[in-house]
């Protein structure tokens, strides 16, 4: 009986995890002959087994990948990007260098705050963000003026037509004293979807704060701080 072949790992995926880069950037390194497998230049699409030696620019890499996830309470004014956009700081200014290889799982715009997950586990990120998994996200939203009952019904029952498709949100009042403050629940994650949904009806979102993302909640994490969380 023939022994089972060793499990092969895609090289660009491994480089992306270890170096904290995209797979496209990993492919660029391979194309420029910066990557070697067992002292031979690697080719695009290459795979390797556990016993192989991987090196980049002559430096051998550790083949063990430790998956990690952190939950950050992003303050307003920070962007979910590695590169600074104008004078706006990035979320990476809030976390130690050892976590700079982690990538955001679902972003918040500069004017929004709340929970942002960062991880080096691509499968986990996919399961948290792909619409088919329907991960519920919860936001505290403050509008510039009272939301009319008819508009509440339109958003919750029928949905609002946006340029990238219909938007249907679950709305709950935060209190009985006004109609400006709402808890918004959704399982989609389109760009600025909540702001655009209310904006299409003439409202401005003055505050948008995400408290929950799937099974993860901010809890006692203070603005600008983070916690390491289990991946589940």
7 catalytic, yes or no?
A: no
Take residue 215 and report the two structure tokens written for it.
Answer: 């099974």
Res. 119: pLDDT tops 60:
yes
Give me the DSSP letters along 92-129.
GGGS-GGGTT-EEES---TT-EEEEEEES-HHHHHHHH
Res. 8: pLDDT tops 70:
yes
Backbone angles phi, psi at 12, to 5 degrees: -65, -35
Domains and CATH numbers, the chain: 9-60 (3.10.290.10), 69-130+217-229 (3.30.70.580), 136-213 (3.30.2350.10)
Helix (H), strand (E) at residue 216: strand 216-217
Q: Note the pLDDT tens digit of each residue in 39-88.
A: 899 999 999 988 899 999 999 887 677 889 999 999 999 999 887 778 89
Take residue 1 and report the two structure tokens written for it.
Answer: 């009986």
Q: Note the pLDDT tens digit of each residue in 27-48.
A: 999 999 999 999 899 999 999 9
For residues 61 and 42, what is the distance between their CA atoms, to the nearest angstrom?
Answer: 14
Q: Is residue 151 helix, strand or coil?
A: helix
Sign of CA dihedral 122, 96, 77, 221: positive
Q: Catalytic one among 93, 109, 144, 164?
A: 109
Res. 6: pLDDT tops 60:
no
Query: What average pLDDT does the structure give for the chain?
Result: 91
Take residue 19 and report the two structure tokens written for it.
Answer: 């170096």
Q: pTM for the full model? A: 0.79
Q: Is residue 156 helix, strand or coil?
A: helix
Report, as an integer, the average pLDDT of 118-129: 89
């Amino acid at each position: 009986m023939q022994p089972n072949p060793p499990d092969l790992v895609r090289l660009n995926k491994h480089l992306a995890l270890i170096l904290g880069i995209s797979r496209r950037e990993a492919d660029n390194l391979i194309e420029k002959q910066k990557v070697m497998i067992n002292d031979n230049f690697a080719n695009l699409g290459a795979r390797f087994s556990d016993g192989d030696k991987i090196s980049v620019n002559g430096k051998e890499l550790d083949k063990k990948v430790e998956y990690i996830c952190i939950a950050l309470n992003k303050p307003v004014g920070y962007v979910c990007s590695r590169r600074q956009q104008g004078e706006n700081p990035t979320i990476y200014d809030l976390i130690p260098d050892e976590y700079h290889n982690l990538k955001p799982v679902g972003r918040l715009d500069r004017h929004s705050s709340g929970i942002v997950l960062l991880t080096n586990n691509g499968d986990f990120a996919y399961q948290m963000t792909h619409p088919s998994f329907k991960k519920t996200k919860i936001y505290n939203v403050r509008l510039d003026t009272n939301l009319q009952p008819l508009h509440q019904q339109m958003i919750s029952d029928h949905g609002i037509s946006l340029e990238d498709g219909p938007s249907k949100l679950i709305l709950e009042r935060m209190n009985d004293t006004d109609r400006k403050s709402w808890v918004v629940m959704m399982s989609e994650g389109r760009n600025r979807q909540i702001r655009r949904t209310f904006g299409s009806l003439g409202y401005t979102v003055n505050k948008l704060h995400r408290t929950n993302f799937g099974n993860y909640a901010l809890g006692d994490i203070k603005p600008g701080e983070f916690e390491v969380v289990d991946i589940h």
